[in-house]
């Protein structure tokens, strides 16, 4: 992985004898350092991936972060639809849901699945339709689990909803990973 190769060697060399050999660089006379903020971020990402990636893939963490942003986008869109557009609650809610789903799709396309990014109008439209259909399945899963836990197991509705959201999130992630952004990275 580029400049981080020593990190990978150290992380994957269990039980190897490793020692530090000091070296003092002379002041740079030509050119510029290749160390940029993106390289430093890539280093931190590699650290996460090497330590926790086999348990919780970084792509899932990104997907969850996009999902969390969708909550705030939904709330903002709902507020704007009610207060600026003066829509009734039910219509404002539908608009807020549509805005947050669209936002999540495009953020996931740009951020979570950047190595599999959908490009071109046709691919984006087809991906967006698949994403909506898959998330609709997630919504049904969330609803069914929440109501089942509340009605059949007398679980608090908020706790039941959290379980439903968690299962739906995994569903949405894995199905979207394989169907919406299923092509292999180049």
- Interior/surface letters 100-118, b for 16+ CB within 10 angstroms, e for the rest: bbbbbbebbbeebbeebbb
Q: Check whether 107 has a pLDDT greater than 60.
A: yes
CA angle 45, 5, 58 (to 5 degrees): 20
Nearest to 3 by CA among 32, 27, 33, 28: 33
pLDDT at position 72: 92
47, 7 contact by CB (below 8 A): yes
How far is 13 from 29, CA to CA, in rounded Å? 35
The mean pLDDT value for 135-147 works out to 92
Average pLDDT of 151-163? Answer: 91
> What is the sign, positive or negative, of the torsion defined by CA atoms of 36, 38, 39, 44?
positive
Most confidently modeled of 23-32, 48-57, 112-121?
112-121
Q: What is the pLDDT of residue 15?
A: 82
Q: What 8-state DSSP symbol labels residue 87?
A: -
The pLDDT score that the predictor gives to residue 2 is 58
Model confidence pLDDT, tens digit, residues 51-102: 888 899 999 999 999 999 988 998 899 999 989 998 888 888 888 888 999 9
Q: How does the average pLDDT of the chain come out, rounded?
A: 89
Token representation of residue 83: 């207060």
**66 exposure class (CB count in 10 Å sphere: 0-12, 13-18, 19+):** buried
With beta carbons less than 8 A apart as the criterion, state whether 52 and 11 touch.
no
- Spatial distance between the Cα atoms of 174 and 102, rounded to a whole number of angstroms: 18
Q: Are 2 and 38 in contact (CB under 8 A)?
A: no
Six token digits for residue 98: 């549509």
CB 43 within 8 A of CB 4: yes
Residue 185 has what pLDDT?
43
pLDDT for 87:
85
Q: How far is CA 18 from the centre of its chain?
A: 36
pLDDT in tens, 167-177: 999 999 999 99
């Amino acid at each position: 992985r580029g400049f981080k190769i020593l990190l990978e060697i150290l992380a994957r060399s269990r039980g190897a004898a490793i020692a530090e050999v000091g070296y003092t660089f002379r002041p740079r006379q030509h050119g510029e350092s290749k160390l940029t903020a993106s390289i430093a971020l890539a280093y931190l990402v590699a650290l996460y991936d090497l330590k926790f990636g086999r348990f919780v893939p970084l792509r899932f963490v990104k997907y969850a972060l996009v999902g969390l942003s969708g909550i705030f986008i939904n709330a903002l869109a709902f507020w704007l639809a009610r207060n600026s557009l003066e829509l009734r609650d039910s219509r404002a809610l539908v608009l807020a849901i549509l805005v947050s789903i669209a936002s999540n799709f495009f953020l996931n396309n740009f951020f979570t699945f950047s190595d599999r990014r959908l490009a071109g109008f046709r691919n984006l439209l087809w991906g967006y339709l698949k994403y909506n259909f898959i998330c609709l399945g997630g919504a049904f899963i969330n609803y069914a689990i929440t109501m089942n836990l509340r009605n059949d197991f007398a679980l608090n509705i908020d706790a039941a909803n959290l379980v439903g959201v968690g299962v739906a999130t995994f569903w949405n992630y894995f199905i979207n990973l394989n169907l919406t952004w299923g092509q292999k990275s180049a």
